[in-house]
Amino acid sequence: MRAERGSTSMTLQKELLEILACPRCRGQLEALGSPLQALCCRACAVVYPVRDGIPVMLLEEALPLNAWHPASDPACEPERTRKA
């Protein structure tokens, strides 16, 4: 039964990422952390926190990507600095 919960949670996370967009540029978001800790927009170089499992998609709450902790996840570097 616990395995089902994990797979359901992962499916829900993927479905959520498909419908959510950056409120600033309407771009794609990437999940940070496991469990989900934040959503990242590489185009805007900002991170939207997830609090109590709920994404906080307010521009006022967004953090600059370089201020994101724990240790700026390399999976979500700003596009202009990402190595090819």
Q: Give this prediction's pTM.
A: 0.70
Q: What is the pLDDT of residues 54-66, one digit of tens each?
A: 899 999 999 999 9
Is residue 84 situated within a structural domain?
Answer: no
Residue 68 sits in a domain whose CATH number is 2.20.25.10
Q: What is the DSSP letter of 78?
A: -
pLDDT for 19-74, tens place per residue?
Answer: 999 999 999 999 988 788 899 999 999 999 988 888 999 999 999 999 887 644 44
Is residue 30 situated within a structural domain? yes
Token pair belonging to 79: 């596009």
The Cα–Cα gap between 64 and 42 comes to 10
Question: In this structure, is residue 20 part of a structural domain?
Answer: yes
Domain membership of residue 41 as a residue range: 2-76
- With residue 18 as reference, give the H or E element that holds it: helix 2-19
Residue 81 within any structural domain of the chain? no
Answer whether residue 35 is part of any domain: yes
Domains held by the chain: number: 1
**Tokens standing for 36?**
């989900």
Q: Give start and end residues of each alpha helix (H) in the chain.
A: 2-19
